[in-house]
Structure 1
Amino acid sequence: MEDLHLWKSLIQVVNLLAAVGVIVLVLLQQGKGADAGAAFGTGSAGSLFGSSGSANFLSRATKYCAIIFFASLIGLVLIESRPMGKADAGVMSTVVGDKPAADKQAAPVAPAQDSKQGGIPN
């Protein structure tokens, strides 16, 4: 049981890091129209990875981070969807419900008559 919680925590950390990695890598990438602006002198054509190397490196890194994110997400779903034993039945397993309404013998209440409105109840 403790081993499962350790794996779940580890997968959650990996999932969080992969999600942050995807967000950062997507924000670092240039749009398709950025190259046209660089041709006319607005913006920098070269970057840390070179003019064409940044697109390849960043897109590949984004692809691998997305694969890790979805794989860890599927792992979390598989861990959470396993059949639960009696000891791990969830928070609602200990709730005691009320008796059904048929067992309660309540007397019907007649509606009050209002003499000012001609006997029509409120």
Structure 2
Amino acid sequence: MNVILNLLLAVQILTALGMIGLILIQHGKGADMGAAFGSGGSGSLFGASGSANFLSRTTAVLASVFFVCTLALAYFGNYRAPESGSVLDRAAAPAAAPASVPAGPAAQIPGTSVPAPGSAPAPVAPASGAGQIPTK
């Protein structure tokens, strides 16, 4: 799976660089008027109109490959292996409660106990009359 992702990413980067190069090479619409009157268009490799057709078709092919690679990378990026049961079955199943193992500094002090998660704390008894209201 990782090899496929790396291959798709390499193809996408190469097509992006190819598109950038082809787009920069192409002439704008204003350059067509100059080519029609013979100003430098006749000395090109593809002729006056052949280069526009070749470059635009190649750019369209590279854009399609780039789009397909982007969709494939998005699909594989969100792909999760199917698990047994449906989403509703997994949501209805109660989560397993962790064992009540004391953690933290209180677990290292002898004679102290840490209440189990989810239980109410035990009431603390006042020591020898502390906290009582004196009466007359």
**TM-score tier after normalising by the smaller chain length:** 0.5 to 0.7
Consecutive unaligned residues of structure 1, counting only runs of 5 or more, are 86-122
Structure (1/2) with the larger helix percentage: 1
1:16-50 Cα distance to aligned partner (Å, 9 max, x none): 00101111111111011112234566x51121111
**How far apart are the structure 1 equivalents of 2:40 and 2:6?**
42
Instruction: Spell out the pairing of 1:1-122 with structure 2 (5 A cutoff).
Output: 4-39=1-36, 43-46=39-42, 47-83=44-80
TM normalised by structure 2 equals 0.55
Query: Which stretch shows the higher mean deviation, 43-52 or 58-67?
Result: 43-52
Aligned length: 83
TM normalised by structure 1 equals 0.61
**Deviating 4+ runs (over 4 angstroms):** none
**How far apart are the structure 1 equivalents of 2:72 and 2:78?**
10
Identity of counterpart residues, as a percentage? 46
Backbone CA RMSD of aligned residues? 2.3
Structure scoring higher RCO (CA < 8 A, sep ≥ 6) equals 1
